[in-house]
Each structure stands twice: as C-alpha cells, then as structure tokens.
A = this chain, B = another copy of it.
Amino acid sequence: MPDSLRIGLIGHGFMGRVHSLAWQAAGRAFDLPLTPELTAVAGRNPETVAQAARSWGWASFETDWRRVIERDDIDLVDITTPGALHTEIALAALAAGKHVLCEKPLANTLGQAQEMTAAAEAASARGVQSMVGFNYRRTPALALARDLVAQGRLGDIRHIRATYLQDWINDPEFPLVWRLRKEQAGSGALGDLGAHLVDLAHFLTGRRISGLSALTETFITERPLAQSQSGLAGVGGAERGEVTVDDAAVFIARCDGGAVATFEATRFAPGRKNAMRIELNGSLGSVAFDFESLNELLFHDATADSAVGGFTRILATDPQHPYMRAWWPPGHGLGYDHTFVHQAADLVEAIAQGVPPTPSFADGLYVQSVLDAVEASAAAGSAWTSPSWNEGK
C-alpha cells in the first residue's frame, strides 16, 4: 500500500467542493505513489464547515485556518479562499513545511505574489513543493495542444487569440458577491477569467507577454448587497453597494518571440456560459479550443494535403491523449471536475518524486505581473506597458 498524503483544505465554497471531489477521485482514477487523505477542512462558520466535512468526506474540520497549519497530521495545505487571504495562509503553510496548492490568481497584488514566490522557492530548496491552481492546463484537449506546439507542429507562433466569455452577472440585479469587491477578489473578470487566459497562453506556447495595451470597463457600477451566496450565485437585498472591480478587460500584446496576441475577459456576454476560447496560429498550423466543448481540439496542419485540408475536430478522449489512460473509451467525454482530478494527480506525483510541480508560484507571479500591467495600462489611457517580469531586459 502506498503512503498517505494528508490534505488540509482551507475554504469550503464552490472551489473547496471541487477540490474535495478531486482529492478523492485522483487516487481511484490514477495509480498514484501516495494516497491522498482528506484529513481536515477549515472554514469560519462552524455549522457550514461541519456540514461540508460530513458531505465531502473530510475526517475533521477546523474553524481557524491556522489550526490546519499547526496540525502535525497535515502534509499539504490546499488554499481555496478568496484571493485576499492567499498570501498569509501560503506563507504560514510553507513556513510550517507544508506543501501548498493555492487557487488562482496567486494573489491580489503583485507584491504579495512576489513574496509568495520567494517563499515557495526557498521552501522548494527544502523539499517543500508549491503549485498554483490553473486547472485548465489539465484539460486533455489543451494538454494535447501544448504537446503539438512543443513538437513543432504549429511552427513559429504568430497569433494568440484568447477570450473568456461568461454572462452570470449580466442581470443588473445580480447581487454584490465577494467576486465583485476589489478588497476580496483583487480584480473582476480580469483576475478571475483573464488570469486563466494569460496562464494558458504561456503554458501552450512557452511565450510570455512583453508589452501590452489594455482597457477595462465596469458596465454596472452599483448592485444590491449580497445577503447570502453559494457557488457563484447569491441573494441580494434592498441596499446597494458599489462594484469595485472590472466587468470586462481587453488587451492587445506582443510576446517574446514575436507573436501578436489579443485577450478579452468579460462577464457580460449573454449566452456565453464558460466560453474560454483560445486559438493559436503558427507558421505551420493552428489549434482552436472552446471550454464549452471541452473534449474537442480543432487542429489544422498547414503542411498536409490541402485538397483535404481544414480544421480537424479531435475528440481528445483516446487512451493516447493526455490523462486519458485513466478514463473511458474514446468518445466518452470528461467534464470540468476531471481537470481538478488531473491537477491533484500531477501534484501528488511531483511531491512523491520530489520535483517541483507546475504551474509554480513563479508561473503565478508571471500571470500576476501581466494582470498588474493590464490595470496599469488601463489606468494610463491604454498606454503601452511592460509587465514587471520583463523590466530591465
């Protein structure tokens, strides 16, 4: 029997629930060198956290996250709180010698992200590992896209075209949940959705954004205060408050290596539910993806016989496709939660092997530096702005 990896989960909202299922399923689906154990979950409200522990299979619960870090029977701290708490928790966990999985975006400010990355790098030298939760990297179709790029099947990347479109706050009466408040969420569509796009563009192509010009917009500036919230939803009251984050962010960019990129993140695209779309055009081919059809990758090979050329719809569900050895016969698709199972499995593998997992906190810091540049450019009338990672180069 393999040894255990004892997990302490902090936060029991929508993300906490997804992580709970993933920690359980990872060991069943994959043949892992360490068996994840759901040891403790932490949350401030004793009733709801107790209920979460019971429903989701956690052996115990805590009402103070610090207790999880103090406990000897926890090997890994999994952070799914709002961004405002990421830094304090992660620093404490790393200092206590716990591995850390931290939801994205890494932090609410660049300074926090830098501090976290420094701590993660120091911890890594002591064998303590960190990962930031850009789960979409573990979508089989996107991992396949990355492999195609890495194999040179697209040639030189010339265009990155990334949009993340949702519509869940299109209704002006949708309440002011925490994701719409800057002090908790850091930013709006930019950090929630745009962060995924920036990370994926990096993951898929290996290229980073060297400069950009951006604008952001808040279409609905006042909303009913939230009386309660659950998942992404909430219930509003009679009082109203100010929306302090962006509803949408768009930017154009140049990448190291020469690619031209466009990015758009919005929560105001009626009819688009989770349209995280990315297309890459290279000198030798193209790929296109839409999370609303998450099992499909479109691929065009410009070097093939043009008489039968076009985009091939690859169902990335064959055993030979990334992660699919663990799952079902071809055509029996996966869902959103499988990306978290893959994330958990990859993290367990990395910890067992003692190699730093990816995406690292440094990868998260890179994303943060781009988000920071977007906000800076938007504040400066769309002036061209270099992300901090690129300064001095």
A-side interface residues toward B, CB under 8 Å?
1, 14, 18, 20-21, 24-25, 27-29, 31, 54-57, 144, 148, 153, 158-159, 161, 163, 165-168, 170, 213-215, 217, 219, 231-233, 248, 250-252, 254, 258, 260, 262, 264, 266, 268-275, 279, 281-286, 291-295, 299-302, 306-315, 317-321, 327-338, 381-384
Contacts and interface: CB of A to CB of B under 8 A. Distances in A.
A369 to B, nearest CB: 18
- The 10 A-B pairs at the shortest CB distance, nearest first, are namely A273-B331, A274-B331, A271-B300, A335-B335, A332-B336, A273-B330, A270-B302, A334-B335, A213-B382, A213-B213
Contacts of A295: 292, 335
B308 A314 contact: yes
A169 to B, nearest CB: 12
A249 to B, nearest CB: 9
A150 to B, nearest CB: 13
Contacts of A18: 328
A20 B321 CA distance: 23
Nearest to A314: B310
11 contacts: A161-B264, A168-B329, A215-B252, A219-B258, A251-B252, A266-B281, A274-B333, A275-B331, A291-B331, A312-B313, A335-B337
A215 B215 contact: no
A279 to B, nearest CB: 8
Contacts of A285: 270-271
Contacts of A55: 27-28, 31
Contact of A315 (B54, B219, B292): B292
A279 B161 CA distance: 15
A64 to B, nearest CB: 25
Nearest to A285: B270
Contacts of A29: 21
Given A159-B269, A295-B335, A332-B336, 8 more contacts: A144-B307, A158-B268, A250-B252, A272-B331, A273-B318, A273-B330, A306-B318, A383-B383
Contacts of A213: 213, 215, 252, 382
Contacts of A311: 271, 312-313
Contacts of A294: 333
A270 B282 contact: yes
